[in-house]
Structure 1
């Protein structure tokens, strides 16, 4: 990051804090450990290991996501979502495993490329951008063909921890061309300012993630 990044982050933080504060005057937001992002997904501060498929949604009170008066900390966040999609496990595995194509359809992914090591290990280099942050990081990718794709961040200045796991299983017996998709991501930012500002954008990224891969599968396989 350049030296100009911190002033930009601080200005963005202050502006968003003021916007949230003006809304808070009309109510008394309370803190909650879990923010639900959709009918089948939840973003949560890490308290314990979360199941890949939440049994029942919990609806916490709403609160401001940024609050300068509250203690600033970098917390590990986790998100899980499960869906049954109208594609085979092989098709969805192919979409997720082709990391070099992420730049064409994954939200906020600017660049993506695969690097293969001499020992057969696979690493993915990605560049993500959401104003005012643009960062590159490298993940080690391991796969179980047609069943799982796991990526763990191994370097980068934005994350102290980033792990994503995709799992694929056959759908219902009466729907042979369907599969159950479990998506899990866990992340923690290195910087306090990144944690406060960038988490707002990452909130949107994880909400749209499964939908982006489903749309990609539709473009590739719907005509078949």
Structure 2
């Protein structure tokens, strides 16, 4: 009588189907399209006091009169109190009384917190709402796009940007370089040098449009800071010194 081997479970006799889970793949076109924001930084060192340049930057209503690609600009809401104490420049203060007066002026001053702009940039001509964040004496930042609640409420889905951040910053030239020295001077004594930075970060809903804009973005940012420098010269004069 033949000896029977151990019985094998039926499951071992039935071959399981060879299932293939296809991993998501990017098409050739998708691999060429941007998946992250486009970021740009340009800067200039100008022979003007930081406070004067900051006042120029925070005047959002005037943007359309001198910034290229900005066809309309209007502040639609103002703060009731200062968003923060300004950084005092001790080299320009003659006394503690002067410092207190400057701080009180900043605290009583209203700052823009919301604005509407119309831009013509590459293939886009678009009006949109921005939330504005001011750090007195330091920076002005405009934020827009689908991620901003103010944009969702007021642009009603017409904003082509997923995210758009425009930030102007000013700093004493030596501070920006990390040097603990006296304010930089040039032609003539007392010329205050200030570093101005323009940072742009944008991501559009349509990646093809973002590709088109990326080809001219560097040139556009340079034109913007060129226009800012020209505006400063018109308002404050050349002073015999050149930008860097």
Please tell me the TM-score bracket, short chain as reference: 0.5 to 0.7
Greater strand share, structure number: 1
Superposed, 1:54-93 pairs within 5 Å as: 71-93=32-54
Distance 1:182 1:223, change over 3 A: closer
What is the root-mean-square deviation in Å for CA atoms of aligned residues? 2.5
- Could you tell me which residue of structure 2 aligns to residue 200 of structure 1? 215
Partner deviation per Cα, 1:83-105 (whole Å, 9 max, x = no partner): 21111101111111111111111
How much does 1:199 deviate?
3.0
- TM-score with structure 1 length normalisation? 0.62
Alignment: residue pair count: 158
Tell whether the 8 Å contact from 1:74 to 1:195 is kept in structure 2 after alignment: no
> Please, which of 186, 200, 218 is the counterpart of residue 233 of structure 2?
218
Distance 2:41 2:119 in 1: 21
How much does 1:195 deviate?
1.2
Residue 196 of structure 1 aligns to a residue whose secondary structure is helix
Runs of 5+ unmatched residues, structure 1: 1-66
Tell whether the 8 Å contact from 2:184 to 2:192 is kept in structure 1 after alignment: no
Structure number with bigger Rg: 2
Tell whether the 8 Å contact from 1:113 to 1:124 is kept in structure 2 after alignment: yes
Residue 75 of structure 1 aligns to a residue whose secondary structure is coil
Distance 1:118 1:215 in 2: 29
| Greater relative contact order (Cα < 8 A, sep 6+) | 2
